Chain A
């Protein structure tokens, strides 16, 4: 069976009412690898990530959990050994490890193993957000029971206090603080946050509000790309 491949790209235009929620073009391809049960690649700006999901499958007795599935997250940096992860790659692994069980209904697949492996094809800015999106698309492709979808949005606060969503590498370098939020699709709540730099409480709240608005566009993109994929299959 040949894998069904489709590439979708979408450009989100800068809206005049909310100039801060501008996102750059992103692209996604699902089911591009034949071996994993679900796979997806996600390209966001200069960053590109490939994710593959195996499962539910047999689990080693030593790792078995009687009431839910055992989750494993593997990160593969493009240069260097996977055992020695860079700070950002290690953080991505950590985040996915805690985020996936929140969105997946692991208790439905008890005494089984799920494995998410992520290959960082082009390590650019917003690695975390891009990895989260790729992992979510791969989990969706694998057809695992989920409570909600999730997406990652990155915001940067520049020295003047302006908030930029989807910052470029240069914007990220010059910024005072960079934050990445994982947002769920059901109620647009924050599932995880990762922050760097200093900011005030009101700035954090503003960033969350902006990210929640921006997440709508990403979820719409998820929906569009999946519906386009299945409309061609039928």
Chain B
């Protein structure tokens, strides 16, 4: 199914509005849409809503596998981002589109290459059995800024996830069910979060958290992944615009503020969920 094309007058309208510092949904230039984080009944299931429209679901699962030969003591992290046709009619099923590859790569760089998860703690028996943690991210409704929503959903789901407890006695590995022993959380060092900046008119105008319409008329995109300690985890620029050093520095300053806010929100959501589960157990 093909996407409805954006008409010239719509394009013109959007660009004029951006020049006048106005946005379609009444936000300011640096405003983020409201982020809503909800959890599923299972551990490691998280839904992130950006505003009322963009929606992403992340599910973490794990299984015991043999480790990679060159890394016998490290657990395996696997990320899989899916663009289903539910999110947008333009997404073709079972096809590796350019956007999908870009998003998957960025998610991997943000969460795996930043070493935010202690992979050595996922080792059960060196060289024989390690945990493979799998993160499936599903875009349910695409209204721009999939990257930020996915990164928030993925890291929140990883924080929320509990893996089954294991016990090693000699050669024998016992995996306990949740009824036998409480599942254990993953050890997470820090929480990298992506912040997207879209540029218009060859970088003259900048918007934080672009919506789908704005993404369609933008010239370039800069994605900065950062944690709350203001450590950069990855920077990706796409769309082929030239950016000045000052622009990138300014973006990183904005990102640090946004990341601090989002991290606060995630921690609050996790805390609330923990309380709710605690109450539920005692009822």
A residues apposed to B, CB below 8 Å: 2-3, 33-36, 39, 46, 48, 50, 52, 54-55, 57-58, 74, 76, 78-83, 113, 115, 117, 119, 121-122
- Whether A83 and B94, one on each chain, are in contact in the complex, defined by CB atoms closer than 8 angstroms, is yes
- CB of B104 within 8 A of chain A? no
- Whether B2 and A58, one on each chain, are in contact in the complex, defined by CB atoms closer than 8 angstroms, is yes
The stretch from B49-57, B117-125, B234-242, B266-274 touching chain A is B49-57
- Whether A76 and B2, one on each chain, are in contact in the complex, defined by CB atoms closer than 8 angstroms, is no
CB distance from A55 to the nearest CB of B (A): 8
CB distance from B216 to the nearest CB of A (A): 14
Chain B contact patch, size range: 20 to 34
Q: A34-B141, A82-B94 are in contact. Are A121 and B57 (CB under 8 A)?
A: yes
CB distance from A36 to the nearest CB of B (A): 6
- Whether B52 and A34, one on each chain, are in contact in the complex, defined by CB atoms closer than 8 angstroms, is yes
In angstroms, Cα B1 to Cα A74, docked, is: 13
Closest residue on chain A to residue B2 by CB atoms:
A58
Closest residue on chain A to residue B80 by CB atoms:
A81
In angstroms, Cα B57 to Cα A79, docked, is: 11
Of all A-B residue pairs in the complex, the 10 with the closest CB atoms, nearest first, are: A52-B86, A117-B86, A33-B141, A34-B53, A78-B59, A79-B61, A76-B84, A2-B52, A117-B85, A57-B1
The stretch from B132-140, B173-181, B194-202 touching chain A is B132-140
Tell me which of B42, B86, B138 has the highest count of chain A C-beta atoms within 10 A of its own C-beta.
B86
15 contacts between A and B (CB under 8 A): A33-B140, A33-B141, A35-B86, A46-B41, A52-B85, A54-B1, A54-B89, A74-B93, A76-B84, A76-B138, A78-B59, A115-B85, A119-B57, A121-B40, A121-B57
B residues apposed to A, CB below 8 Å: 1-2, 40-42, 45, 52-53, 55, 57, 59, 61, 80, 82, 84-89, 93-94, 134, 136, 138, 140-143
Not counting A35-B88, A35-B143, a sample of 7 additional A-B residue pairs whose C-beta atoms are within 8 angstroms of each other reads: A36-B86, A54-B1, A76-B138, A79-B134, A80-B136, A82-B82, A117-B85
Residues of A within 8 A of B45 (CB): 78, 122
- Whether B82 and A76, one on each chain, are in contact in the complex, defined by CB atoms closer than 8 angstroms, is yes
- Whether A50 and B86, one on each chain, are in contact in the complex, defined by CB atoms closer than 8 angstroms, is yes
Residues of B within 8 A of A80 (CB): 136
Closest residue on chain A to residue B53 by CB atoms:
A34
Residues of A within 8 A of B134 (CB): 79
- Whether B2 and A78, one on each chain, are in contact in the complex, defined by CB atoms closer than 8 angstroms, is no
Residues of B within 8 A of A54 (CB): 1, 85, 89
In angstroms, Cα B80 to Cα A80, docked, is: 8
CB distance from B208 to the nearest CB of A (A): 21
- Whether B140 and A119, one on each chain, are in contact in the complex, defined by CB atoms closer than 8 angstroms, is yes
Which of B57, B89, B143 makes the CB contact (< 8 A) with A78? B57
Residues of B within 8 A of A117 (CB): 84-86
Residues of A within 8 A of B41 (CB): 46, 122
In angstroms, Cα B85 to Cα A57, docked, is: 13
